[in-house]
Amino acid sequence: MEVIVVGAGIGGLSLGLALHQAGIPCRVYEAAPAIKPIGVGISLLPHATRVLSELGLEEALARVAVSAVESCFFNRFGQLIWREKLGRAAGYDWPQFQIHRGDLQSVLRDAFIRRAGAERLLTGWRCTGFAQDADKVTVEFADTGTGEPLPPQHGTAAVGCEGIHSPIRKQLYPAEGEPHYTGYNMWRGVSRWLPFLSGATFVRAGWLATGKLVIYPIRDRIDAEGRQLVNWVAEIETPHHQRRDWNRPGRLADFIRAYADWRFDWLDVPAMLAASDVILEFPMVDQDPLPRWSFGRVTLLGDAAHPMVPRGSNGAGQAILDVRALVDCLRKERDPIAALQEYERLRLAPTAKVVLTNRQNPPDAILREVYLRTGDQPFDDIDRVISRDELRALSDGYKRVAGYDKETLAAGR
């Protein structure tokens, strides 16, 4: 068996590492001419760090990430709504890492090259389509720089891990249509800033109607002053949006007004936003869940299979869970077609549930409830607005849907 992995993002490189660990040969093809540290921050929740730890990557990730210790929810007036522990501080066996996407991809790339060999990671190969017969799948590629065709690649199975613009998904579903827009736009960036709160806090504040922020550190001690690299995400109701592109530059002027008076005793928000090294813009969009991913010897994984609204810190995590399930199926089932069907059976419904939950009731629903109950006004006592039990139920309910509640992880699922 030899697996063709199309895409060297988080899902594709994790899959390559897991296949190699399982003794299943693979080759990873990436459209970009080189794998560069692009993007901003992401969070790796305990269900994902468990898989990465099983791949022997926890120590390398810990060196470049911030291990989160708490999550805090605030209204836009800086009042604390809810605080809970995260990762090992919450009693998990695995950490919650807050990390620059480029750092994560570099750790994955370096480990794959070291273990499988540089010749099994090919860059500048843009997938243009596939065909299959009873014995093999053939994936067609073109040179990203010249557009010239490259030699067709043959394998036992092929996995589309190319993200939201997956050509394999497009070939499988040519009439799928445009993504579903939530009505909210997102701007993301990173700023060099002194530590705030615990120095390892994941913050959510405000609400979408008037402006919501997600803020968390992703690198520690980046200079002599002890500053961190802080990731931030601004989300606001916006009637118009552009085509989704994770790397589209954004403008501070398009959203800073909503946060002009967000000066808390622990953070000057407008100053932090204005100090950003980079600003990117992305519409909050997803696709309706597909009825199937696996067609013979071809399947989808990660954003190519289930693009979701980027809430709940769960997009990369679900891709990594896909990896674990897919490799388990390929290892146990000699027939690759049957293995891909079993992988789909295991992951299709759970990921569809996350996609739909991210539309309506992600962890941010805590902020929505307080916004609605207070009429977007400061409160005197949060316990008179919403009970501790309600807040805990909102938080724990999402953990169960996403698969990182302690009971699910303790059961080894």
For residues 236 and 250, is the Cβ–Cβ distance under 8 A? no
Q: What is the mean pLDDT of residues 77-97?
A: 96
pLDDT of residue 413: 65
pLDDT tens-digit series, residues 176-220 = 887 878 788 889 999 999 999 999 999 999 998 899 999 999 999
For residues 95 and 88, is the Cβ–Cβ distance under 8 A? yes
Chain centre to alpha carbon of residue 346: 20
**240 vs 226: CA distance, rounded Å:** 40
Residue 224: count of CB within 10 angstroms of its CB: 6
345: confidence class by pLDDT, cuts 50, 70, 90: very high
**25 vs 76: CA distance, rounded Å:** 51
Six-digit token pair at 77?
A: 């007036």
Tell me the pLDDT of the chain averaged across its residues.
Answer: 93
Q: Which residues pair with 189 in a beta bridge?
A: 232, 279
402: confidence class by pLDDT, cuts 50, 70, 90: confident
Give a three-class secondary structure readout of 118-137.
HHHEEECEEEEEEEECCCCE
Q: Which residues pair with 142 in a beta bridge?
A: 126, 149
CA-to-CA dists, residue 371 to 38, 80, 181, 205, 311, angstroms: 34, 13, 22, 11, 18
**247 vs 352: CA distance, rounded Å:** 26
pLDDT of residue 387: 97
Residue of 90 and 181 predicted with greater confidence? 90
pLDDT of residue 216: 97
Please give the domain boundaries of the chain with CATH numbers for all domains: 3-66+97-178+288-360 (3.50.50.60)
pLDDT tens-digit series, residues 39-59 = 789 999 999 999 999 999 999
What length does the chain have?
413
- Which residue, among 172, 165, 108, has the nearest Cα to 304 in the 3D structure? 165
377: confidence class by pLDDT, cuts 50, 70, 90: very high
What does DSSP say about strands 157-160 and 298-300: parallel, antiparallel, or unpaired?
Answer: parallel
Q: What is the mean pLDDT of residues 90-101?
A: 95
Q: What is the mean pLDDT of residues 137-154?
A: 97
pLDDT of residue 404: 87
pLDDT of residue 241: 60
106: confidence class by pLDDT, cuts 50, 70, 90: very high
Residue 405, helix vs strand vs coil? coil
pLDDT tens-digit series, residues 216-268 = 999 999 999 999 999 999 998 877 666 656 567 889 999 999 999 999 999 99
Report percent pLDDT > 70 for the chain: 98
At a CB cut-off of 8 Å and minimum separation 6, what does 309 contact?
182, 284, 285, 286, 355, 358, 359, 362
- Which residue, among 70, 69, 52, 50, has the nearest Cα to 61 in the 3D structure? 52
Q: What is the mean pLDDT of residues 269-275?
A: 97
CA-to-CA dists, residue 14 to 6, 34, 115, 221, 280, angstroms: 12, 17, 12, 28, 25
pLDDT of residue 246: 59
Tell me the DSSP string of 190-253: EEEE---TTSSEEEEEEETTTEEEEEEEEES--STT--EEEEEEEEEE-S--PPP-TT-B--GG
pLDDT of residue 242: 62
Phi, psi of 182 (to 5 degrees): -80, -15
